[in-house]
Every structure is written in structure tokens, then in C-alpha cells.
Structure 1
Amino acid sequence: MPTYFSYTSEATDYLSSRDRRLGRAIAAVEETCGHILRETDEDLFSAVIHHIVGQQISNAAQRTVWERLRASLGSVCPERVDRASAEELQSCGMTFKKAEYIKDFARKVNRHELDLAAVERMDDADAITALCSLRGVGVWTAEMLLLFCLERPDVLSFDDLAIQRGMRMVYHHRKVTREQFERYRRRYSPYGSVASLYLWAIAGGQFPGFEKDYAPLTDAQRKARRRSRDKARRKESSK
């Protein structure tokens, strides 16, 4: 049975009181789809592997590889992953590099070079540093592990493109600078994780009042828009 990131109205009320624009975004999301349900991982070991598997592939592809991995191993635990060869892991549909990252991670856990229980007790900054010591784990992946496995309450990732898109749509920025981002992070604290959930929702949906991304158009988008206008003019002139 899936588990979901847990939060209460205390968090959304606080965010709405601290930031009126975000408050309007929260209200728009809740009016349309209610409480946000985002699945969380069961344990840190399998969560690390799940996130490595999912890097640079679609969610559907991640699910397929993950199910194959679970079927092959029986259980995604340090002992069984360590016993499997990199070739066996790769045969589940991942790249050989990802298979090597996963093998290296399992070896470190089995040899007590990395204490995951200790990582779970660390503060956010130290936990991110410890997780980033693993091959294949960067800051963004570590932040997602803190949010969707350890359920830390105050995670807001600057490197997350959807978070940046959500901020542009809420605040009408053409680009979110690090300085602006840090200002929002301080404003949202101690509920940055809940703010993340709503910014993701805004970035991925069409909610009243939050339909537009204010980022400058790319060259490809400008060309596509020109082609669309030219096509419309030709159609109109041929009538």
C-alpha cells in the first residue's frame, strides 16, 4: 500500500499567510484537485537505487526498470544487490553506468562504509553531503531523497526545473535568480517541502490564473509561433 508525503492545513495556512501569491496558487490547486498526494519511498536504501534508476528517463520507463529489478532480486536490499553482478542489474533495462553506481552503493552499505541509519539522523545539510558522496548522486537527487523518503519538512530545490517554472508562473519572473530563490526559501521556511508540492502542481497543470510561464521564448518556440501566425494569415487570405 503506497504512503504519501504527510502535511496538514497548518503548513498551507502558514505559507498562505507569509506569501499572498503562493496562497492564491495553493487555493487554486486545492479547489481543483484537493490535497496533494505524492508517494514516498519505504526505506533509504531502496530509495537511493530508485532515484538512480530514474535519472534522465521517463516516469514510465523508471517504473518498468524498477519492477524488473524487484522481480530479478526478489527484494531490493543491500545483500541481494551486492550479490548481483552489474550485468544482471543492467539486464533490467538500466545503463551499465547506473548498474555500477548501484553496485558501489550496495558495497559501501554492506561494508559499513556508509551508515544509512546515521544519515537519517543528520540535519539536512549533513545528510545531503553524505548522500552526495555516493557515485551517481548529486545535490538534486539528495534533496529529493530528503523530501520523498525521509520526509524532511523544509526542502526546496534550486536545481529543480519544475520548481523554477512554478515560481515563474506564480511570481511572473522571466528568470528566477539565486538571490530571489533564497528569499522565497526563507519566506517558506519551515514548510519548504509543502511549498515544493504546490509549485510542482502549478508547473504541471492548468490552474485558473496560473496558466502562463513567463520565461522568454526559445528560438524554436519563436519560430513555431511565427509559422503558426503565417499559416493563419495564409488561411485567412485564401478565403
Structure 2
Amino acid sequence: MVAFLLPQKLAVFFIRLFILSGLKKNQTMQEAIDHLFQKDPIFQYIIDTYGLPTIPKRPQGFETLVLLILEQQVSIDSAKATFLKIKAEHATFKPELLVDVSDDQYRAFGVSRQKSTYIKALSSAILNKEIDLESLPQKTAEQVREELIKIKGIGNWTIDIYLMFCLQEPDLLPLGDIAVVNTIKELLDIHDKSIMETHTINWSPYRSYATFLLWHYYLRKRKRTIVY
């Protein structure tokens, strides 16, 4: 009897999961907004002023991590232009290819020596099986951080963005991000990072959504549009 019931229960589970999957995104966004409105008036002000943000999403894997390395401490537009130059020359864009690109070639693409070192370090880590990017979605945010932080050139900001954009981690606030920090300073008049950390705990478990709203405010106020 049990042997027949188990598949039936699993079938019901997957049917319900399929039905709910289309609703989950909007439900989660609404839950996040309701929560953030209760915790801090700045979020209602942002939405009343500029409307709802686009939720950034990027594919998981090697290409996105390379793009994030390129985005470190430069504008997204500048990094994307460099990324597209590399892709135009190396369409396959695989670790085994990028690990052998010379520093001179990287420099011709607009990649600094430091960042070319980081791209090669990531490529080597994948080729040497020091990290398995395909396994990351099955891990917790803490486990993903422990894996990625070992790679030269991948720090907490890069990991935060990967978790938020690629793995849809809902509760991260990257206080290494200049736009996030400057918006908190402007809207909350908090200038000390330790106080920022304490204050923003109240935004949990939706700090990633709070981040998207802060970015939205920062960009719209400056009349900038970014395609993530």
C-alpha cells in the first residue's frame, strides 16, 4: 500500500509546485514590499516616487562570474562593453579558453592586469575541479560564499551579487556597494557602516528586495537606466 501511495503523493506535490511556481515571483515581491513598508518608510517613498524596480536576474555559471569580475569598481555599462569585446573574439567563452589568453590580449580588450589575473584564477579553479559551479544552487548562501571566497579576486561584493542575481537569495544587503551605501546615507542619514548593518537587520528576511529598491532609487534619481 505504501509503495503505491508514495508516487501518488509525489505527483500531487509536483502538480501543486507547478501551479504555484507562476505565482511565486509576484507573491514574494508583494510579501517583501509589505514587510519593508512596515519596517521603514523610505521604501514606500521610493515606490511612490519611482514605481517598482525590475528584479535583476542573470544566468548561473562562469560567464556571469567573469562579468562580475569586470564590474568590480567600474560602471556596469563599461564592464559590459569589455565583456562583449571578449565574447566577440572568443565566442565559446569557456574556462579552458580564457585561462590561456595572454595579458596583452586582455589589455587590448580593456581588462586590467589585475582583473585578467582574477579571470585566470577562476578559470583554473574550475578546470582543476577546485569548485563546481553547477553544484552551487543546491547549497546554502553561506556554503556558496565559502566556496567562492577561496578564488582570488572574488570577494564578498561579487558573491553577494551572484547570490542575488543568479541564485535568487532573498536576504542579502551588499554594504560593499557604493550605490547602496550612498542611498542609505541620503535617505536615512546613516553614515557609519556598523550602524547601517544594525539598522538594516530590520529589513530581513527581504534585504535583497530592499537592495533592489535602493538601486532603483539611486538610478532613477540620476536618470540612468541599466540593463542587468
Q: Do Structure 1 and Structure 2 share a fold, with TM-score over 0.5?
A: yes
Aligned equivalents of 1:159, 1:100: Cα separation in 2? 22
Is 1:191 matched with 2:206? Answer: yes
In the TM superposition, what are the counterparts of 1:20-99 in structure 2 within 5 Å? Answer: 20-21=40-41, 25-99=42-116
Aligned equivalents of 1:102, 1:20: Cα separation in 2? 39
Aligned equivalents of 1:70, 1:206: Cα separation in 2? 32
Q: TM-score, normalised by structure 2?
A: 0.76
Q: Which residue of 2 aligns with 1:12?
A: 33
CA contact (8 A) 1:87 1:99 kept: no
Residues 1:151 and 1:76: Cα distance change in structure 2 (over 3 Å): farther
Q: How many correspondences in the alignment?
A: 196
Gaps of 5+ in 1: 1-5, 208-239
Aligned equivalents of 2:65, 2:59: Cα separation in 1? 11
Structure 2 letter corresponding to 1:139: N
- What is the SS of the residue equivalent to 2:175? coil
Aligned equivalents of 2:76, 2:214: Cα separation in 1? 19
Q: TM-score, normalised by structure 1?
A: 0.73
CA contact (8 A) 1:164 1:176 kept: no
- What is the SS of the residue equivalent to 1:42? coil
The superposition leaves residues 8-61 of structure 1 with CA deviations (integer Å, 9 ceiling, x where unpaired) of 2111111112x142xxx3333323432211432212211110011122323332
Give the percent of matched residue pairs that are identical in Structure 1 and Structure 2.
23
How big is the shift at 1:83?
Answer: 4.6
Q: Greater Rg, structure 1 or structure 2?
A: 1
Q: Which residue of 1 aligns with 2:192?
A: 176
Aligned-pair RMSD on alpha carbons?
A: 2.2
Residues 1:88 and 1:206: Cα distance change in structure 2 (over 3 Å): closer
Gaps of 5+ in 2: 1-24, 223-228
- What is the SS of the residue equivalent to 1:40? coil
Residues 1:38 and 1:69: Cα distance change in structure 2 (over 3 Å): farther
Q: Which moved more, 1:55-64 or 1:149-158?
A: 55-64
CA contact (8 A) 2:82 2:110 kept: yes
Q: Choose which of 126, 138, 141 in structure 2 pairs with 1:109.
A: 126
The superposition leaves residues 70-127 of structure 1 with CA deviations (integer Å, 9 ceiling, x where unpaired) of 1111032223323534433332111122112211211210221111123332222222
